[in-house]
Amino acid sequence: MKIYKVGLPFIGMSSLMLLMSPLANAAEMSNMDHGSMDMSGMDMSDMDHSSMDMSGNMSDMDHSSMDMSDMDHSKMDMSGMDMSDMDHSGMDMSGMNHGSMDMSGMDHGSMDMSGMQGGKAPADARSPDYSNGVPYGRFGKPVMMGSLPLWGVSVDDLGYQFDDDQINYEFDTWYGTDSNRVTLRSEGSIQTKDDKEIDSLTSLSYWKPLSIFWNGEAGVAYDTENDKSAVMAGIAGTAPYFIETDARAYLYTDGQVRLDLGAEYEWRLDQHWVVIPEVELTAFSKDDTDNHITKGFNEFGADVRLTYEMLSRQLAPYVGISYETALGNARDLRRQEDEAVDSSSVTAGVKFWF
């Protein structure tokens, strides 16, 4: 039997070669390109990734051809992964279940989402006047009607009282906008017999809306019946149930105060026929025997008119009945002056606006 003696140097070299072999294989795999690896046939559905440590740097890996549709990533810890340079454009992840993935440790602070839809529109996205370069044509740029000064004339009453033999009138005209107007208003009567006396109350005022249904007025007035001027203030508008209501106070130069109250309602029978009942009440603050005025309520008037609207409702002829009576001490004063306390008359006339 022969005994071979092997020296220590030989044993050391052999051990070193055995250790170098796996290191060489690991170095060779680190430089491998996974982009061309075909893993489409690999079945990784039963793989347990819960204990996989993926905290290393995978930024240079190309996963574009990997099919991970059946993989369960619910237990994967991806908090330490650096995937900033990874290309996932070709990965099919339609079948992956991400419901239980823990992404609480991911840092989204440096993500660039500027190309996503939303955010602030560019400066040239829309023209300042919203026309987008389309011209307005031969009519020019449209303007809101509320900002244009307009004018109007409304004649609420122009009729003849047969029994009293007089013409009654009431009109107002205005100029301005929906927020500010100048209004000229006048009402009165003209006697058609004897001395043909004219009794009128005319005011020039500033008009402004106070709320949705009410407007305010303030200005100056002149009364031909007592030949005095006055300062006027009033309110007019629509009360509940569409009752047109107005209240105006006049302060005369001699300290007398006059209060006029009125209410009117339009009862529409159809598209043209309208019944209009109206009541008026007048009161004064002190006695003035020279002008047949007593303190308190002096006069009450009422009339009912049946109108027929035509020409786009701008013209409405009417027939009706009017009634007037004195109140309080004014009744006694009229009797002393041998004047009628009560009067009624058939009326006919027209109302219009333009």
Domain assignment of residue 274, yes or no: yes
Which phi and psi angles does 7 have, rounded to 5°?
-80, 160
Domain assignment of residue 222, yes or no: yes
CA distance 6 to 4: 6
Domain assignment of residue 69, yes or no: no
Q: Which of 347, 306, 341 is nearest to 324 (CA)?
A: 341
Other Cβ atoms less than 10 A from the Cβ of 305: the count is: 23
pLDDT of residue 148: 81
- Residue 65 token pair: 């051809």
Question: Domain of 294?
Answer: 152-353
pTM, to two decimals: 0.61
CA distance 317 to 308: 6
DSSP class of residue 334 equals: H
- Residue 35 token pair: 């982009």
Q: What is the DSSP pairing of strand 273-284 with strand 296-308?
A: antiparallel
pLDDT of residue 306: 98
Go through 208-236 and write b for each residue having 16 or more CB atoms within 10 A of its CB, e for each that does not.
Answer: eeeeeeebbbebebbbeebebebebebeb
Q: Specify whether the CB–CB gap between 42 and 17 falls below 8 A.
A: no
Which phi and psi angles does 27 have, rounded to 5°?
-65, -35
What three-state secondary structure class fits 5? coil
Domain assignment of residue 34, yes or no: no
DSSP class of residue 332 equals: H
Structural domain tally of the chain? Answer: 1
For 85-97, what is each residue's pLDDT tens digit? Answer: 555 555 566 666 6
- Alpha helices in 235-318, H assignment, sequence order: none
Domain assignment of residue 78, yes or no: no
**C-alpha distances out from residue 325 to 297, 319, 339, 343, Å:** 11, 21, 11, 6
- Residue 231 token pair: 């300062």
Query: What is the CATH number for 204?
Result: 2.40.160.40
Other Cβ atoms less than 10 A from the Cβ of 242: the count is: 11
CA distance 313 to 272: 8
Q: Specify whether the CB–CB gap between 186 and 168 falls below 8 A.
A: no
Which parts of the chain register pLDDT below 70?
1-119, 124, 129-130, 145-146
CA distance 315 to 354: 9
pLDDT of residue 219: 98
Domain assignment of residue 160, yes or no: yes
Domain assignment of residue 345, yes or no: yes
Q: Specify whether the CB–CB gap between 227 and 200 falls below 8 A.
A: no
CA distance 26 to 22: 6
Domain assignment of residue 306, yes or no: yes
